[in-house]
Structure 1
Amino acid sequence: MGRRGPTAVADPRPAISRYNFSMLDPRAQTLLKTLIERYIVDGQPVGSRTLSRFSGLDLSPATIRNVMSDLEALGFVASPHTSAGRVPTPRAYRLFVDTMLAVHPLEEAVHQLATQVQTRLQPAGPQQLVASAAQVLSNLSQFAGVILTPRRSQVFRQLEFLRLSEKRVLLIIVTPEGDVQNRIIVSNRDYSPSQLVEAGNYLNAHFGGQSFDEIRNHLRGELDSLRSDMSGLMQAAVEAGSDVMADNKESVLISGERNLLGVEDLSSNMDRLRKLFDVFESKTGLLQLLDVSSRAEGVQIFIGGESNLVPIEEMTVVTAPYEVDGRVVGTLGVIGPTRMAYERVIPIVDITAKLLSNALSQH
């Protein structure tokens, strides 16, 4: 499975990510790619000897050091005070994921991953499927899974009234996505089952596919023509339905936050850890990031330090939109360290988005 670079989206990345990388010669690109790959694997600053061993280039240590100095001057690598080796910067990771990384997992591996995702996304209601997707992303990546739930329709597909007791009626609302919402209506009088069926049939026949605000406006002119014993139930149903739809807002679900406590890059610094859990607590930044990525096609990679949407330099968010019947309704992704195995996480996010889209569309 090949992969294009992340699609350009209107996110507030600084100009640093638009840098003209073509000025790097092939030798510098090879050494930088090797450095990033070794740092992802080992988590330690990479020295000249390691680069000489793994790059496949026949270069002297002095030449490698000169190239590293040039890369450092350009902002692609940095030298920690405690080591003679170097580590990649956010600018380097952006170059890596945009132009150096090729995700080509074996067909067998893709099939195995798809099977795992499908197994976890068992047939369920839309809300359960979305919640399961966040858990799938967390379990398979061993980082945190995040998903922007779809803003459900403000219209209804079908209404039904069910008598609970003498003056208590259960209003059942079915949305076009198949979500079922219930509200209890306390009425002024007792309605027979046949009257409740009549009221439901009337609303479904005349107002199915409309919002409750539209129903309210129409009913103002029609209540006089309705039997007085039914108008009260109709008005109560409209008010209860409006309350239901007012709750149908986008929200962010996160699964596996505790996985990140075991990631040294994120948890070794208390200030960094505090910022990380501030992100999870407020969710405002994640909501903005996921909303931005929903307007682009395919997998997006947001790298801390070069995207204003990611508040922690050592954090990366890999996202992809998901659809219902060809219409984008939300975004899902993985939150992890910048030092992650991108070639493994990208297919997890990509395949999960596709399979969730299929599951929601078939529901």
Structure 2
Amino acid sequence: MKNPFHTDTLEPDQPFCNRVAELRELATHARNGMNVVLFAPRRYGKTSLVTRVQHQLRKEGICVIYAQFMRLVSVEDLVHRLAKGIMNGLHEHESLLEKGKRWLGHFPSIQTSFTIDPATGLPAIGVQMATRQTDPMIALETVLEEVGKFLEKENFQICIALDEFQDIVDIKEPRVEALLREHIQRHKASYFFLGSRRRVLLDIFNNRGRPFYQSATMMELDALPENEGADFIVSQFELAGKQCPRNVAIEIVKKIEQYPYYLQALAYRAFELCEKKCLSNNVQEAYKSLISNERYGYQAIIQGISAGQLKLLRAIAEEKQASLTANAFLQAHRLTLGGVQSARKYLSEQDLIEKTNDGQWRIVDPVFRVWLLQAF
């Protein structure tokens, strides 16, 4: 029997846990032409959620465009990803090889090529800039101007999602934000700005001195509600021909602290380990397997930070929640206030730690925290 749980980005036809209110809200904002900032920790299901919303909007006749900005390396990279997202979105709305080919004239700076994808047998789109600009900022402005003119001439609605939008700051080109804001505010479209480095993303939209200040509706994706998470697990086991008692499903949800990715990942392993009925010992074994599987990603995180940052991470993991400036915390872990402040800034910008509503600090990823305790 096929395992019903998935740990990659969920396609619109795959089982989706809850998020009914969020789906409805995002779709409503898109129909109304509103811009939205959707933020949550990594692997909270933002991309899956927006994919599902855009699938729904596409069925309503709304043109949807998606561009991934994760780990941008240059302005040229940004231009290329945006151009490819535009062409892919237009092609899905109306084939560029058929009636939609008239739209290509609206984008003279984007040279489009078509090949056949051997896996699907369908046309695959390639893009490159038709004329190489000496200044990539001019290329970016040209594409944005072409988008604006296109939207003025066409009478259908459009929704544009920019995933991991905060990574524009890594380009180290301060003019990018202002240029994007200047054009986006004039576009007749709804923009979704997605991000998982929440401190960086929120500063872009909430800092009075930055171009995007208060230019979009803020929408935070919360942890999955316990009951809905348990219901989802029970129902998926049932549909796949196995049983998961509700108390065991609750155990899974609590074990991963209602973290969406880990809910699917732990349930996936528990499903594989059990015969006909999932038991608590299956969950325990699955959790060990999960940590073992994730350790490679965690090791990569550790290798990318300084000794001082690792020391602070370990200290927070041991405390579970900590007041980083408290003398007792500093003394117990042999930390200095200056060292903590420096490490805290970087770790929070990378969304490895977060400040809770009561002013305490904690590790964002609950399974990463457990791994830290075991590894050190």
Q: Which structure carries more relative contact order (alpha carbon 8 Å, separation 6+)?
A: 1
Q: Same fold (TM over 0.5)?
A: no
Larger radius of gyration: 1
TM-score normalized by the length of structure 1: 0.23
Structure that is richer in strand per residue: 1
